[in-house]
Amino acid sequence: MERLQKIISARGITSRRNAEKLIVEGKVKVNGVVITELGFKASPDADIEVNGKQTTKNNEKFYYLFNKPRLVLTTMYDPKQRKTVADYFKDVPTRVYPVGRLDYDVSGLIIMTNDGEFANFVMHPRYEFFKTYQGLCKGKVSKQQVSQLLKGVKIEDDYFTKAIQAELLNYDQEKDQTIVEMTIAEGKKHHVKQMFSAIEANLMKLKRTKIEFLEVDDLEVGRYRELKPHEVKKFYGIYQSTKRKEDLKVK
């Protein structure tokens, strides 16, 4: 017997955290009975409905690295009929969903999977997986401003946060635009945008170029590729590594 939210997550319906929300809202049935108790346990082979739809046990796991375009929602459905990440995965063998989020107006890398346990692991704040972003800013961003990102800034509700890495990549004098690269190990809502705002940089566009060792490379915007088995496995070893613990000392 396993907790209901774990079974739902393992079947690739949604993350464990969101499954808990659905249970509390009375949107989950087990063998025809509505369940609202988070501690409820069921057989992994139980008859489970979520939002009125029957779920099926799926033992095959799928993992994709997706280069999300701007103006695309990181959700599986939008009542306003705006484009979502789900629109790009209609031809895959099973329903996959995003691991974490990227703002509507932010482009770049996001992992899509039907493996709820993996998704829950990667999203958990305890493991502090690194994510790298490039921000296109109007005007010239100074070395002092970038240095402040490394020293730390206060964002919403006086929350203090630091970049793991930050550097000036390029200043285009003709266009009067600067590209700043920053790596963080946290993920509050609008986190990176707020950090740019804290150093008074005029952010125009933002894209995520890396998730840990996964890089955008030549993956075109709006396209995806399958993750290799060793890439999936590598995530589980990262947090235990000595190098990771040393990297986090800069925080």
Q: Is the dihedral of CA 17, 18, 19, 21 positive or negative?
A: positive
Residue of 103, 115, 176, 218 with catalytic role: 103
| Residue 87 bears catalytic tag | no
3-state secondary structure of 43: coil
Q: Calculate the alpha carbon distances from 139 to 47, 142, 174, 177, 181 in Å.
A: 58, 10, 10, 5, 15
Are 130 and 184 a contacting pair, CB within 8 Å? Answer: yes
Phi-psi sector, 222: left (phi>0), alpha (psi -120 to 50), beta? left
Are 119 and 9 a contacting pair, CB within 8 Å? Answer: yes
Extract the tokens encoding 207: 């894209």
Q: DSSP string of 92-123? A: SSS--EEES---TTEEEEEEEES-HHHHHHHH
**CA nearest 144: which of 199, 89, 97?**
199
Q: Which residues does the annotation mark as catalytic?
A: 103
